[in-house]
A and B are shown apart, each in its own frame.
Chain A
Amino acid sequence: MRINQYSVSVMEIMIEDEEEFLRFVRPKLPLLKGYLLNLKGDVTPKIEDFLQAHGLQYIKNTEISTIRHAKRSKNSVEVYDRIIRSGEEINTHNSVICLRKVNDGALIRTVSNFIAIGRVDGTIEANGDFLIFKKGPKGKIIFHNMILDDLVEGRVYKIHLENNEIIIEEIKEENGNNIFDN
């Protein structure tokens, strides 16, 4: 007997509308090729034809048990009190706090949480419980493999997981100002 063990990144998508799903998937094809799609809901023949034509791997309506939360409990925090500049790449298992800006062309990848006090124009990939940041015009945010491309520039967001759902909240002071404006 020979056993091969792999770690697979799974992206779970609930399909409610065939066209909406295809609109979501088409621009993200290069990214999605790195994932096993676990499709839930109505997986139509048109959807299956499309996925097969583009070489995407998928399973249908499968319950997958995850141990994501149990693994993450003992991480520490990395604090960066400097600008994270273009070309810099930070890969870590720890939570990341950036006290200054993350510039365009910088990449921070963490399996844990992320907080930036300065504006984020770089790319953030985080898989922890939450993100807090101020979105810059060029910021690209990926949370649990989901590209969050409808965030508004200049707003401060808290993005977190609740029952495995991604919740996006805008944070404001009581007077309506952004909390990081001053």
Chain B
Amino acid sequence: MGIIFSIISGKGGVGKTTTAANLAIGTAMQGKKTVVVDFDIGQRNLDMILGLENRVVYDITHVMDGDVRLRQALIPFKKNENLYFLAASQTKDKTVLNKEKVEKVLSELKKEFEYIFIDAPAGIESGFEHAVYFADAVIVVVNPEVSSIRDSDRAIGIVDAKSKKSQEGKRVAKYLIINRINPDLVQKGEMLSSEDILDILEIDLLGKVPEDQIIIEASNTGHPVILNEKSEAGRAFKRISRRLCGEEVPFVDIESVKHSGLLKSIKKMFQ
């Protein structure tokens, strides 16, 4: 039986969909049979990030309504045979979701896949609650800014109060990814540090991802950064994926400013 990870944030625009895409590819690269599901009904984006927008014919609402079988709606990711994608509907809205239908689809996916990533919608309305209700674990994506932290804190509270596991008195594992860390701003004290964020949210740190301009290009071209060896964010997502697969991977300091080669040479002259 697979594990369902819901990727949540509270606030929109923090990089949740990018994280879902990269972690799904990352675990697939580790040899795990993985599926990533876009739960943002009416606002699907994950297909574009994965470069699969031209392949979407059927989506999750077709499966839930029994119009097609799950296998017909699953789209294979060409760059890795372990990864499949289930799209959200772009034409319907979140009211089409209901607990029984969602449970049926997810229990089918759990039988087929080892890792199931759900890209939850932003906010805390009904779509969000459906996306976290059946989660075995949640991955909370935050940016190092106060509004993102407070909204995530609220989202964690809702997971604790409303997920199926919590209601059964079990613990839902919660992991934190701090995304878009800018070392210059952290050093100047203009951006919250990881310690500040962990102090507020008190959940386990899964990884830190630096700000990386390559992500914009990657999203626009449908070539996720984890596939780009030159991308620092891509390397961070790889480390996180390995941790998710049970490997002990040391945390890399991405909050200290790295000096350029010239500056390093000048510093050495004075040592």
Cβ-closest chain B residue relative to A85: B157
Given A87-B158, A103-B150, A105-B154, 7 more contacts at CB 8 Å? A82-B160, A85-B156, A85-B157, A86-B150, A86-B153, A86-B154, A87-B124
Residues of A within 8 A of B154 (CB): 85-87, 105
Does A129 make an interface contact (CB < 8 A)?
no
Count of CB-CB pairs between chains A and B under 8 Å:
30
- Binary B-proximity of A6-21 (CB < 8 A = 1, otherwise 0): 0000000000000000
Does B202 make an interface contact (CB < 8 A)?
yes
- Smallest beta-carbon distance A99→chain B, Å: 13
Does A125 make an interface contact (CB < 8 A)?
no
Cβ-closest chain B residue relative to A87: B154
In the complex, how many residues of chain B place their beta carbon closer than 8 angstroms to a beta carbon of chain A? 11
Does B200 make an interface contact (CB < 8 A)?
yes
Cβ-closest chain B residue relative to A105: B150
Residues of A contacting B: mostly = loop
In the complex, how many residues of chain A place their beta carbon closer than 8 angstroms to a beta carbon of chain B? 12
Task: Report which residue of A83, A87, A100, A104 has the largest number of chain B beta carbons within 10 angstroms of its beta carbon.
Answer: A87
Residues of A within 8 A of B153 (CB): 85-87, 103-105
Residues of B within 8 A of A87 (CB): 124, 153-154, 157-158
Residues of A within 8 A of B158 (CB): 87
- Smallest beta-carbon distance A108→chain B, Å: 14
Does B129 make an interface contact (CB < 8 A)?
no
- Smallest beta-carbon distance B125→chain A, Å: 13
Residues of B within 8 A of A83 (CB): 202
Task: Report which residue of A82, A88, A100, A121 has the largest number of chain B beta carbons within 10 angstroms of its beta carbon.
Answer: A88
Q: List 26 A-B contacts (CB under 8 A).
A: A82-B160, A83-B202, A85-B153, A85-B156, A85-B160, A86-B150, A86-B151, A86-B153, A86-B154, A86-B157, A87-B124, A87-B153, A87-B154, A87-B157, A87-B158, A88-B157, A100-B202, A101-B202, A103-B150, A103-B153, A103-B200, A104-B150, A104-B200, A105-B150, A105-B154, A121-B200
Residues of A within 8 A of B202 (CB): 83, 100-101
Complex-state Cα separation, A158 to B150, whole angstroms: 27
B115-152 interface (Cβ within 8 A of A): 124, 150-151
Cβ-closest chain A residue relative to B151: A86
Cβ-closest chain B residue relative to A100: B202
Complex-state Cα separation, A103 to B124, whole angstroms: 18
